[in-house]
Amino acid sequence: MIVAEFKRVFDIAPSVTGFTPGRVNLIGEHTDYNGGNVLPTALDLGVTLALAPREDGLIRIWSDKFDGIAERKMTDAASDHWSDYIAGALQLARSEGFGPDGANIAVTTTLPFGAGISSSAAVTVGVIRAAAGLSDNSLTDTDIAVLARRVENEYIGMPCGIMDQMAVAIAKPGQALSLDTKYLEFGLVNLPETHHMAVIHSGVFRQLNEGRYKIRKEECDAVKAALGHDDLCLMTDAEFASLAHLAAPLRRRAKHCMTEHRRTVAATVALQKGEMAAFGVLMNESHISMRDDFEMSVQPVDALVADAQKFGATGARLTGGGFGGCIVACIEKEKLGAWRTALLDAHPDAFWVC
C-alpha cells in the first residue's frame, strides 16, 4: 500500500519502508526528564513511511493527511509546519553522518494528530530509522530514540523527555516498556490477556509546545536547583522534607515527581505479577497526583477519569503531557463493550482512540 502510494506520487520505488507505532503511557508522567521510570506501551495504530534518498538538498513529502506535496530544503529551519518533524529528523540524520542529502518521503498514519499518543515521535523515529536503513551503521534502537528526542528538543523547540521516542522505537503492541529514563535501561513486560488498555480522547485538544509543558519543566528545574541534583524522582523523603522553604506549588511538583516514580516502580512489579487490582489502584492514585500536585489536568479529563473508574475500570488516569488529550483505562475485556458505551454516552465530546 505505502509502496504503491510512493510509486504513484514519486514515479520511482522507495528504497526503504517501515512502520512505527504510537504509544500510550500506562503510568509515570513527567518523570522522564526528572530521572524517573515510565511504563508506556505501543499501540496498534501508527505511522507507515517509505523513503528514497535524494542528493540535491530537497525533501519532498507526501502525506495521506494533507493535500499536495510539501517541499522543504535540508537547510530549512522549523516553520511550525507538519513537515518540520520530517525535515528536522532528516537534517539530524545527515549531520550525524548517516543520512542522505534530501529524500522523497510518503507517510500514512492511523494516529490522530494532537491526541497525545506520540504521532510526532513515531514520525521522527520512523524517519531516522529509515535514513539509517540506507547505510551500514551500528545505530541501536536507543540511539535512534535519543536522536529523535534531539529533533524535538533542538529543532522543534519542545523540551520533552525520552519516553515517547524510546516507547515507539522499542515496544510492540501487547508489551509495556519499563524504562529507567536516567540510565536508559529497560525491560519489556507482557500485558495481560484479560484486560484492555483503553485510550479515550477527552475532546480537549492541546499542543505540548503551547507552553504549559515548558512551564512545568521549568518548575522542575527550579526544584532541581534547590535540591542540588537533577534526579527529582529519586529524592528521598528527607530530601523532600528539606524543600519546605520552597513555594507551595513547587513542593507539589516535587511531590508528584517523587511519588509518581515510586508508583511506577510498584505498578511495574504489579504488572509483572499479574496483580491488576493493585495496578489499577496505582493508576487511580497517579491521576490524583497529576490533578492535585502536578496540576496538569483539566475538568473534562477529571470527569472522564472519574466515570471511567465509576463504570468499572480496574484503573484510569490522564496520560501523556497533560492539559487535555487522552485518558488510559485498564478494563477487563469481558466488561469492555458495555463500559465503553456507558462512558462515551456520558461524555459526548470524548471519543474512542483504541
Distance between CA 37 and CA 187 in Å, rounded? 11
| 164 touches ligand GLA by CB under 6 A | yes
8 A C-beta contact, residue 142 and residue 63: no
- Identify which range of 137-145, 155-163, 297-305, 345-353 contacts ligand GLA by CB under 6 A: 155-163
Query: What residues are annotated to the active site?
Result: 164
Sign, CA dihedral 197-200-206-212, equals: negative
Nearer CB in complex with ligand GLA: 100/320: 320
Rg of the chain over Cα atoms, rounded to whole angstroms, equals 20
Residue length of the chain: 354
Nearer to ligand GLA by C-beta: 102 or 315?
315
Q: How far is the CB of 32 from ligand GLA (least distance, A)?
A: 5
Which is closer to ligand GLA, CB of 232 or CB of 343? 232
How far, rounded to the nearest angstrom, does the alpha carbon of residue 243 sit from its chain's CA centroid?
30
Q: Does residue number 29 form part of the binding site for ligand GLA (CB under 6 A)?
A: yes
* Burial group, residue 85, by CB count within 10 angstroms (0-12, 13-18, 19+): buried
Give the C-alpha separation, 136 to 261, whole Å. Answer: 38
Contact residue for ligand GLA among 123, 125, 148, 160 (CB under 6 A):
160
Taking the least distance from each CB to ligand GLA, the nearer of 17 and 319 is: 319
Contact with ligand GLA (CB under 6 A) among 14, 161, 315, 324: 161
Helix (H) or strand (E) holding 331: strand 326-332
* DSSP structure class, residue 112: P
Tell me the CA end-to-end span of the chain in Å, nearest whole number: 22
In the range 221-280, which residues lie near ligand GLA by CB under 6 A?
Answer: none
Residues 6 or more apart from 105 whose CB is under 8 A from it? 49, 50, 51, 59, 60, 61, 62, 86, 127, 130
| Region of 24-32, 102-110, 166-174, 307-315 interacting with ligand GLA (CB under 6 A) | 24-32
Q: Which of 14, 17, 27, 30 binds ligand GLA (CB under 6 A)?
A: 30
- C-alpha atoms less than 13 angstroms from C-alpha of 304 in its C-beta half-sphere: 31
Binding mask 32-61 for ligand GLA (x = CB under 6 A): xx----------------------------
Residues 131-150, one symbol each (x = binds ligand GLA by CB under 6 A, - = not), give: --------------------
The DSSP result for 289-313, as a single string, is: HHHHTS----HHHHHHHHHHHHTT-
Under the binding rule (CB under 6 A), the answer on residue 320 touching ligand GLA is yes
Which range in 46-54, 126-134, 159-167, 310-318 contacts ligand GLA by CB under 6 A? Answer: 159-167
Contact residues: ligand GLA, CB under 6 A: 25, 29-30, 32-33, 160-161, 163-164, 208, 320-321
